[in-house]
Amino acid sequence: MKFERLEIPDLVLCTPNVFGDERGYFFESFKQQEFERFLGFHVPFCQDNESKSTKGVLRGLHFQLPPFAQSKLVRVIKGSVLDVSVDLRKGSPYFGKHVAVELNEENKNQLFIPRGFAHGFLVLSEEAIFAYKVDNFYSKENDRGLLFNDEKIGINWGIAEDQILLSEKDKVQPILELADCFNFKEDLYA
């Protein structure tokens, strides 16, 4: 597995070593020891989730507040998505900035999103199966979101807004200026 820090250095792109032949392919999608050696800290993953969505579906931008903040390790099993993470840690030099990467079944890349970030993805292919690990359980009381088209964040989703399919919940999320955020100095893994 190859690990690469992105423009916001706490976001890590994980590229597996894929071994293929005429029978198909094999790769290790997760190896705790290698992953944590690169990060330098323990991530207590406790649950795996999977969703299936059609083209134009945008899920996000979602996060949970402490004590239920979540890290995620996300990947695409089938199809292709534009995956976006937004730094919500007040005091961070990257606060309000975002990183977008394409994850798909061909590149088999994964993205590690630590606690303190909002996360979402837009389906680019006819359908996508999206899988991810989380290190904390869902908490309705701590569940929050961020408006996908906040002009101050400036995410280019690559398609017209009238082609984006959103849940009712995601249509009414707050802009960054009004959103609940994290404190950069807070130990989100305590």
Tell me which residues are annotated as active site.
Answer: 62, 132
Query: What are residue 54's phi and psi, to 5 degrees?
Result: -100, 170
Question: What is the residue whose two structure tokens read 């089938």?
Answer: 78
